[in-house]
Amino acid sequence: MSTAVSQTLAQKLIARAAGRTHVAVGEVVTCNVDLAMFHDSSGPRRLKPMLDELGAEIWDKNKVVLVLDHYVPAQDADAQKIIQITRDTAKQWQLPHVIDSEGICHVVLPERGHLKPGMFCVGGDSHSPTGGAFGCYMFGIGATEMLGVCVTGQIWVQVPRTLRMHWSGRIQAGVSAKDMMLHMVGRFGMNGGQYQAVEFAGPAVQALSMAERMTLSNMSAEMGAQAGLIAADETTLSYLRGIGVAPELLAGAEHWHTDEDAEFEQHSFDASSLSPQVAAPHSPANTKNVADFSDIQPNIAYIGACTGAKLEDLRAAASVLKGQRVASGVQLMVAPASAREQAQATQEGVMQTLLDAGATVLPNSCGACAGYGATFPEGSTVISTTARNFKGRMGPASVNVYLASPYTVAASALRGRISDAREVLV
């Protein structure tokens, strides 16, 4: 068998989109886009003037999803103006898929069944690689590239090499995919993916739920990767069937995996020995074991964002806080990633557990993570489930943000200092 036939998952997905049987690493190909997502920040306010100037229209409105999640709810007149532009343009364009103030784009997109194995997708947001958890090739693009996609339905890519992160073993209770990801970013750095395709594989990854897989793919962006891929398997299909995706639309999903004799660069990890991880200000790459930060006393604990406030994340926090109150002097803020996830968490009693522990519940939006809405006051020390902790991103430059998993954030809120949830869970 020639090496040209043995392909990585990235190569297979790009080849399909390019109408080819196979592609070679480094080759530049033009791909047909199956879905384009943009939101209130990256969408109409930037795209409408350019489309109007060209006298052009969107190539296929059924392949576009618009999400209002960044500036909602409006905090000031500028935000209100952006939201109004977005809503007015959605009506003018007669977009059939608009998700308004119901959650963060990276969560509501798969939640509504828009992503399926084998697809080639783009998003107007840097965390668009989240879609890779579903066996899609999905990556973030800027407004000018999105204009090209909107007009032509196509985009060129250079076929990337694949960095395969193989995780053996199984994570311990109180440790999560967020810890796995912070560990990898700490090891490889913010440019560790070198704008290549990162693929997550191995028994520990296969054991993860879809929500946890989404966290891995989402934060491949923090490694500098273009895409963060996970092969489709029964967990993927079970999730998609569960949200109502027709079985015939999932046919052939077993094809979307990396051939073992394909060429890729592999790095190995043991999940069973992984401790909870914390990233110090002001970079996700400043990661060490949780024990190294036991003297840090946060005054805000934030459970929010696409990478830290899905239903499973809320359950994790509640498992730590059940029957207890957060420490004096600590403000616990919870911004569930979607309205559907929050409704399910309410039904399960998870939200009540968090409220009883002292949480303030915030809207289903990007919120503080994107620097809008409930940002943090001058001089705050924050422990947060968000993906990034860059200086000035979530408040004034004096704010210090430590990144961690929902388990760790909850345990730290409970104890008043950065803590290992494994010491709290029984």
Residues 316 and 215 in one domain: no
Residues 305 and 374 in one domain: yes
Residues 221 and 293 in one domain: no
Residues 211 and 298 in one domain: no
Residues 311 and 379 in one domain: yes
| Residue 4, in any domain of the structure | no
Q: What is the mean pLDDT of the chain?
A: 95
For the segment 7-21, the average pLDDT, to the nearest whole number, is 98
Residues 264 and 309 in one domain: no
Residues 200 and 222 in one domain: yes
User: Which band of pLDDT confidence, cut at 50, 70 and 90, is reported for residue 408?
Assistant: very high
pLDDT at position 229 over 70: yes
Query: Distance between terminal CA atoms of the chain?
Result: 53
User: Which band of pLDDT confidence, cut at 50, 70 and 90, is reported for residue 128?
Assistant: very high
* Strand partners for 68: 100
User: Which band of pLDDT confidence, cut at 50, 70 and 90, is reported for residue 3?
Assistant: very low
Read off the CATH number of the domain in which 380 is found.
Answer: 3.30.499.10
For the segment 372-388, the average pLDDT, to the nearest whole number, is 90
pLDDT at position 369 over 90: no
pLDDT at position 98 over 90: yes
**381: helix, coil or strand?**
strand
pTM exceeding 0.85: yes
| Residue 312, in any domain of the structure | yes
pLDDT at position 2 over 80: no
pLDDT at position 371 over 50: yes
| Residue 3, in any domain of the structure | no
At 30-41, the pLDDT tens digits run: 999 999 999 999
pLDDT value, residue 370: 83
Quickly tell me which residue has 């809405």 as its tokens: 373
Nearest 5°: phi and psi at 389?
-135, 35
At 239-280, the pLDDT tens digits run: 999 999 999 989 999 899 999 899 999 999 999 999 999 999
Residues 194 and 286 in one domain: no
pLDDT value, residue 407: 98
Name the CA dihedral angle for 222, 202, 268, 386, rounded to a multiple of 10 degrees: 20
Cis status, amide bond into 257, omega within 30 of 0: no
Residues 124 and 49 in one domain: yes
Last residue of a domain, one of 236, 269, 302: 269
pLDDT at position 374 over 70: no
Closest CA to 244 of 66, 83, 113, 151: 113
Last residue of a domain, one of 226, 242, 269: 269
pLDDT at position 129 over 70: yes
Going by the DSSP 8-state scheme, the letter that residue 232 receives in this structure is: -
For the segment 115-136, the average pLDDT, to the nearest whole number, is 97
Residues 254 and 312 in one domain: no
Tell me which residue range forms the domain holding 381: 277-419
pLDDT value, residue 195: 80
Residues 224 and 287 in one domain: no
Last residue of a domain, one of 269, 288, 319: 269
pLDDT at position 1 over 50: no
pLDDT value, residue 148: 97
**66: helix, coil or strand?**
strand
Residues 6+ apart with CB under 8 A from 386: 302, 304, 305, 307, 308, 368, 369, 394, 401, 403
Residues 147 and 252 in one domain: yes
Q: Characterise 329 by phi-psi region: left (phi > 0), alpha (psi -120 to 50), beta (else).
A: left
* Domains identified in the chain, total number: 2
The CB-side HSE value for 105 (13 A sphere, CA atoms) comes to 32
| Residue 1, in any domain of the structure | no
pLDDT value, residue 293: 98
